[in-house]
């Protein structure tokens, strides 16, 4: 069987310190992405809401308009900064996410943009599962007060490496997305994400390792750096987990770039040793990757 990952890939997660100044966030992202590319990274990831603070009160004022494609520089400075940066760094670039506004429907989204090493847009993913939680005395958050959800599973083919899946933060808590992606042949699931001090301590590493273990694929989670002056305190701890659920690299809480070398053999060895991949009982329960799924492949 052909390897899901055709050749080794160096993955970099940029745990960026973001603030209120969008231009400063873009400039900071640029310098850290170039640092990662100089270190030999082939695929570089920025965090959720990397160009703005994270919070419903910020989404409308930071939102950019991406359609029609390509957007003008005034409609989306972040799109153009990311496209130029991917080309300059000659690496695949997942631009974390940014708040998006669609004037024709007056809707806002939390949207990821993924660029090729030539700066071409390869995929967009709008957060499918909105972060609506209420843990008394700890944290209440309702993205759906402002945002609308995306409606598709996002898989992208990187010709020289293989297929990856993109999703955003709260999407990781819905294992169906990860399972569908893995059964469709992805070697890596990427989640820009901003867990917080409550849910991060509880579930950040657990979710990353669980999605890797269930699906025997690589998983990467990229958080903003923690800022205790901000209204939302991101967890940090960006990490890459291997197909055997081992944490390969983990950031602390501050701004930092972490790296991992991904290899196809690790997926094959894991699946050979514990062959759940071929032991599923679709005569007992349904295969979630079959049926009516909305894809962007």
Ligand X SMILES: NC(=O)CC(=O)C(=O)O
Residues that bind ligand X (CB under 6 A): 131, 169-170, 173, 194-196, 199
Q: Would you say 171 or 250 has its CB closer to ligand X?
A: 171
CB 129 within 8 A of CB 170: yes
Is residue 48 part of the annotated active site? The answer reads: yes
Report the residue count for the chain. Answer: 297
CB 138 within 8 A of CB 130: no
Which one of the listed residues 64, 143, 169, 205 is annotated catalytic? 169
CB of 210 to ligand X, least distance (A): 13
Tokens read off for 154? 């996002």
Which one of the listed residues 22, 48, 64, 255 is annotated catalytic? 48
Judged by DSSP in three states, 200 sits in helix
Where b means 16+ CB within 10 Å and e means fewer, 151-162 reads eebbbbebeebb
Residues contacting residue 241 through CB under 8 Å, at least 6 positions apart: 208, 209, 211, 212, 218, 219, 220, 247, 248
CB of 173 to ligand X, least distance (A): 5
Question: Could you give the strand order of the β-sheet that contains 239-241, starting from the edge strand earlier in sequence?
Answer: 247-250, 239-241, 218-222, 186-192, 162-166, 153-158, 295-296
CB 114 within 8 A of CB 123: yes
Q: Which residue of this chain has its Cβ atom nearest to ligand X in the complex?
A: 199
Tokens read off for 114? 């993924």
Q: Would you say 5 or 153 has its CB closer to ligand X?
A: 153
Q: Would you say 41 or 194 has its CB closer to ligand X?
A: 194
Q: Would you say 66 or 208 has its CB closer to ligand X?
A: 208
CB of 114 to ligand X, least distance (A): 19
Q: Would you say 59 or 131 has its CB closer to ligand X?
A: 131
CB of 131 to ligand X, least distance (A): 3
CB of 127 to ligand X, least distance (A): 7
How many other C-beta atoms lie within 10 A of the C-beta of residue 65? 16
Is residue 222 part of the annotated active site? The answer reads: no
Closest CA to 4 of 272, 184, 180, 185: 185
Is residue 127 part of the annotated active site? The answer reads: yes
- The residues assigned a catalytic role are 48, 127, 169
């Amino acid at each position: 069987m052909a390897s899901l990952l055709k050749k080794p890939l160096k993955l970099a997660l940029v745990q960026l310190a973001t603030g209120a100044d969008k231009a400063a966030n873009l400039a900071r992202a640029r310098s850290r992405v170039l640092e990662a590319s100089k270190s030999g990274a082939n695929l570089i990831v920025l965090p959720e809401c990397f160009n703005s603070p994270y919070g419903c009160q910020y989404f409308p004022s930071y939102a950019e308009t991406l359609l029609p494609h390509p957007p003008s520089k005034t409609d989306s400075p972040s799109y153009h900064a990311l496209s130029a940066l991917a080309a300059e760094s000659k690496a695949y670039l997942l631009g974390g996410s940014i708040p998006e506004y669609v004037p024709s429907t007056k809707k806002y989204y939390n949207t990821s943009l993924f660029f090729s090493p030539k700066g071409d847009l390869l995929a967009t993913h709008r957060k499918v599962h909105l972060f609506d939680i209420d843990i008394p005395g700890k944290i209440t958050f309702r993205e759906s007060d402002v945002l609308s959800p995306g409606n598709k599973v996002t898989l992208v083919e990187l010709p020289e490496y293989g297929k990856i899946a993109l999703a955003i933060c709260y999407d990781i808590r819905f294992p169906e997305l990860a399972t569908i992606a893995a059964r469709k042949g992805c070697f890596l699931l990427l989640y820009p994400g901003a867990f917080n001090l409550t849910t991060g301590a509880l579930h950040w590493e657990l979710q990353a390792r669980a999605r890797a273990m269930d699906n025997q694929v690589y998983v990467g989670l990229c958080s903003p750096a923690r800022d205790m002056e901000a209204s939302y305190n991101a967890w940090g701890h960006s990490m890459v987990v291997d197909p055997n659920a081992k944490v390969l690299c983990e950031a602390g809480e501050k701004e930092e770039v972490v790296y991992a070398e991904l290899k196809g053999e690790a997926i094959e060895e894991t699946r050979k040793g514990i062959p759940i991949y071929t032991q599923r009982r679709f005569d007992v329960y349904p295969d979630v990757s079959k049926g009516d799924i909305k894809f962007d492949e």
